[in-house]
Structure 1
Amino acid sequence: MVIRETKPVIFLFTFPLQGHLNPNFQLANILFKRGFSITVIHTEFNAPNPSNFPHFTFVSIPDGLSESEASNPDVIELLHDLNSKCVAPFGDCLKKLLSQEPTAACVIVDALWYFTDGLTEKFGIPRMVLRTVNLSAFVAFSKFHVLREKGYLSLQESQADLPVPELPHLRMKDLPWFQTDDPRSGDKLKKGVLKSLKSSSGIIFNAVEDLEAEQLKQSLKEFPVPHFCIGPFHKHVSLSSSSLLTQDMTCLAWLDKQELNSVIYVSLGSIASIDESEFLEIAWGLRNSNQPFLWVVRPGLIRGTQWIENLPKGFIESLDGKGKIVKWAPQIEVLAHRATGGFLTHCGWNSTIESICEGVPLICKPSFGDQRVNARYISDVWRIGLHLENEIERVEIERAVRTLMKSSEGEEIGKRIMPMRETAEKCLEPGGSSFMNLEKLIAHILSF
């Protein structure tokens, strides 16, 4: 009789926002490569394309979102809606999957699914949590109850530049903040996530331990569960696209025609929105810098407009081929391109770690959440970028681009990012911190 060897099964519950889908699927690919069978549980809202991942099993659950809830600009309210509406569907799904795979190794959930801790316990399956921020932002999030008690989260603007005693390097204006109409809604999210993390069987980070060793120590004190820093995720495996938007690949051919390190790449992420006046200030700042630029303007970025129809007549022609505007770009390939010399970014952690990995210095325009923490570390701690801290004006944009791309200060910033790039490469080699942490993660999952 032939005994068929079966791969240990992991259920992965992805969170349906672009900045979360990318690391979720990168982690899934890492674990698949190491011999696990992956079953992806996902919502109907922002459902991933299974054809991009034929090696995974996909299971969809109804999320019950109405059209208005799904398009709610208040992202925190959207997160709460998803958490309340997915309790029963996720429970039903898990029950069915466990009847088919009773020996499944564990469930890995995105940290934003804070409702899952009680359910997985009920079904007797270990639950690990993927946290998609870095350790510096994670520590800042973990102290929110202290920050709230001390009144830091509701300080007046005049106190924005004061230091935060509990968080060296940060100022009051850098504290994690969410775009929501109700501040209590943000508190509820943080409380739910922190409780869920503390009751988990371990936390997985797309982070490099060697870059944030002190923050790892602090996090382990606050969350006494195993931590696994195995980033940068995207450098472990060849990429499959988890993009919800169609990537405009023509920008790579355009980059091919540009000079070495000459292009400033501009992308403000998949969620943040800006008003028309900010959009126009960025446009003129880029134009006046006289530097080639590749600018991602996703539909919905500019409040109240479809796309770039409010650019002044003749603006595109005035660029004389020096600028290219696309709706979405293959960011990892763009950052790795020889022509890309700088990145004007919202400072989400995916973008930040991808830029570090390619040695591309940054200009920071953070909006909310961990982006503010990342921006402060980029500009003041790691000193690998510039920080746009004032209102967005064309003169400031032009000055920042010229400084980063053309000045001796920009040259020094470029030199400082190179050792970080080297660290992010070496950590994946045998004996490196991420290599070793991945080995520990696999052993941990197999021990359940």
Structure 2
Amino acid sequence: MGSHVAVLAFPFASHPSVLLHLVEKLAPASPNVKFSFFSTNVSNQKLCSRFKLLQGHNNFKSYDVDDGTPEGCVFTGNPLEPIGFFLDATPDNFKKRIAEVEEETGLKISCLLVDAFLGFSADFAHELGIPWLAFWTAGPRSLSVHIYTDEINRALASAGGEGGQSDQDMALDFLPGMEAIHVSDLPYELLEGHLDKPFPKMLYNMIQAIPRATAVVINSFEGMDTTVVNDLRSKLEKVLTIGPLVLPSQKLEDELGCLSWLDSRETASVAYISFGTFLRPPPDELLALAEAIEEKQIPYLWSFRNDPKNPLLDGFLERTNGIGKVVPWTPQLNVLAHSSIGVFVTHCGWSSVMEGVACGVPMICRPFFGDQKLNRRVIEDVWQIGVGIEGGVFTKKGMVNALDLVYSSENGSNKMRCKLNELKENAMKAVDENGSSSENFKTLLDIVTSRDVS
């Protein structure tokens, strides 16, 4: 086993999980390559069940790196605090652990496959003289707006502001494929005035580094954002769209009986509600969402992570017991692929968006941060496959209106599902044997196995 790929994760939110999805495809397809997955202990513990499945291939192993947390530290609850400690520990934490693993295995690293957030690894790969593969875990548009950070801030300065309230409606029509996007849709991290803080600084440094990548890998597919992807290709060495990374055909465990419950529901009737692995709307929004579901008597399956017995919803759960099911976890991809699902109420994280598209399900969008507002705009105004919540937060009236729109056959579900079918067909073509995503994945395999690709 000569090739040895070091996989470097950004150990927060869904980033490690999405990166692992890519490794779960690469490792079985390249049995003579060793994959060493580096993340923090806390992050790796959350993925341990998936690590066990991969270890059956004998060419994968996970390793912990120092998370930089000072001894005796008590976190304040600010989610940026552990990120700051981790960033302070990089790149030395990764370099030290990789050196230990090289000694342990007797195999030098031949390729770096990293979460694109870790821009420092471009220098590391250059020092080692090996390929540097940057995996962008979000969509092409969010990568594009980051690449255009300087241009966006110059345009804001020319307009007399720095992303303040008066600038929020400014359209990014000066950027390729961004005519529908507004300043209000952008992550706050790329706006002037924030760039000196640890997390925005990390993203800005990443954008300086990313043109040096041997290839930038994106969980998207040809025909989804053509103008944007073509523009990225004019700026980067190689852009490999390899999505959808996870497909509905993969059967997941269903210990809580979600799929059998869905079997008894009418076609396209159920609202599936999920806000990812760690997000939750505030209490007043939860109540507003529940009140709208109850008023409309919409059958629902609610993935209420970690706390399905939230006392806020006690009365609602009792009154809607006959039409709803609340669970702490669902096999989301299989749920979305089920014929009874009529709408996906989502935070618009990119992985969830891709799964909604791959399964052809209209979306009601309540974004929180990062790329989610941008994704909402694209879903509603570009692809026209869903609707955002009026005002950006759940109110009973706003949710009722969104449900009315999606479930109405004339203006809602029929139109949206027609648009979704077009996207879904492109996605399935891309992952066919000779489709664009399949061919791009072969190119990626050639790089990780150190075969020459020009």
Q: TM-score under structure 1 normalisation?
A: 0.87
Aligned residues: 430
Bigger Cα displacement from structure 2, 17-26 vs 273-282? 17-26
1:426 aligns with 2:438: no
Provide structure 2 residue ranges, at least 5 long, that are not aligned to the other structure. none
Q: Is the 8 A contact 1:70 1:78 kept in 2?
A: no
C-alpha displacement at 1:351, in angstroms? 0.4
Q: Is the 8 A contact 2:190 2:200 kept in 1?
A: no
Question: What is aligned with 1:198?
Answer: 211
Matched ranges for 1:380-419 at <5 A: 380-390=381-391, 391-410=393-412, 411-419=414-422
1:140 aligns with 2:145: yes
Bigger Cα displacement from structure 2, 118-127 vs 187-196? 118-127
Matched ranges for 1:20-419 at <5 A: 20-35=15-30, 36-47=33-44, 48-49=47-48, 50-54=51-55, 55=57, 56-65=60-69, 73-99=77-103, 100-102=105-107, 104-151=109-156, 154-166=162-174, 167-177=178-188, 183-184=194-195, 185=197, 186-222=199-235, 224-235=236-247, 238=250, 249-299=256-306, 308-311=310-313, 314-390=315-391, 391-410=393-412, 411-419=414-422
Q: Distance in 1 between matches of 2:247 and 2:347?
A: 22
Q: Distance in 1 between matches of 2:143 and 2:294?
A: 37
C-alpha displacement at 1:80, in angstroms? 3.3
Q: Distance in 2 between matches of 1:151 and 1:124?
A: 39
Question: 1:290/1:168 Cα in 2 relative to 1: closer, same or farther (>3 Å)?
Answer: same
Q: Is the 8 A contact 2:190 2:204 kept in 1?
A: no
C-alpha displacement at 1:62, in angstroms? 2.5
Counterpart residue identity of residue 396, structure 1: G
Question: What is aligned with 1:244?
Answer: none
Q: In structure 1, which of residues 4, 8, 14 is the aligned counterpart of residue 9 of structure 2? A: 14
Q: Distance in 2 between matches of 1:121 and 1:257?
A: 57
- Percent of pairs with identical residues: 24
C-alpha displacement at 1:144, in angstroms? 1.6
Q: TM-score under structure 2 normalisation?
A: 0.86
1:16-43 alpha-carbon deviations (Å, 9 max, x no partner): 2342123211111211132133221221
Question: 1:353/1:273 Cα in 2 relative to 1: closer, same or farther (>3 Å)?
Answer: same
Counterpart residue identity of residue 208, structure 1: F
C-alpha displacement at 1:265, in angstroms? 0.7
Q: Distance in 2 between matches of 1:385 and 1:333?
A: 20
1:115-150 alpha-carbon deviations (Å, 9 max, x no partner): 322333333333211111111221112112222233
Counterpart residue identity of residue 80, structure 1: G
Q: Is the 8 A contact 1:282 1:394 kept in 2?
A: yes
1:337-356 alpha-carbon deviations (Å, 9 max, x no partner): 22112101111110001110
Provide structure 1 residue ranges, at least 5 long, that are not aligned to the other structure. 1-5, 242-246, 301-305
Secondary structure of 2:172 counterpart: coil
Q: Is the 8 A contact 1:140 1:176 kept in 2?
A: no
C-alpha displacement at 1:211, in angstroms? 1.4
Counterpart residue identity of residue 385, structure 1: G
Counterpart residue identity of residue 283, structure 2: E
Secondary structure of 1:210 counterpart: coil
Q: Distance in 2 between matches of 1:218 and 1:176?
A: 20
Secondary structure of 2:364 counterpart: strand
Q: Distance in 2 between matches of 1:265 and 1:133?
A: 22
CA RMSD of aligned residues (A): 2.8
Bigger Cα displacement from structure 2, 188-197 vs 341-350? 188-197
Q: Distance in 2 between matches of 1:240 and 1:12?
A: 25
C-alpha displacement at 1:239, in angstroms? 7.1
Question: 1:209/1:281 Cα in 2 relative to 1: closer, same or farther (>3 Å)?
Answer: same
Question: 1:147/1:133 Cα in 2 relative to 1: closer, same or farther (>3 Å)?
Answer: same
Q: Distance in 2 between matches of 1:76 and 1:250?
A: 36
C-alpha displacement at 1:424, in angstroms? 0.4
Q: Distance in 2 between matches of 1:43 and 1:322?
A: 41
Q: Distance in 1 between matches of 2:279 and 2:256?
A: 23
Secondary structure of 1:164 counterpart: coil
Counterpart residue identity of residue 150, structure 2: H
Q: Distance in 1 between matches of 2:250 and 2:110?
A: 25
Q: Is the 8 A contact 1:29 1:237 kept in 2?
A: no
Q: Distance in 2 between matches of 1:262 and 1:165?
A: 38
Bigger Cα displacement from structure 2, 31-40 vs 331-340? 31-40
Question: 1:423/1:265 Cα in 2 relative to 1: closer, same or farther (>3 Å)?
Answer: same
Q: Is the 8 A contact 1:208 1:229 kept in 2?
A: yes
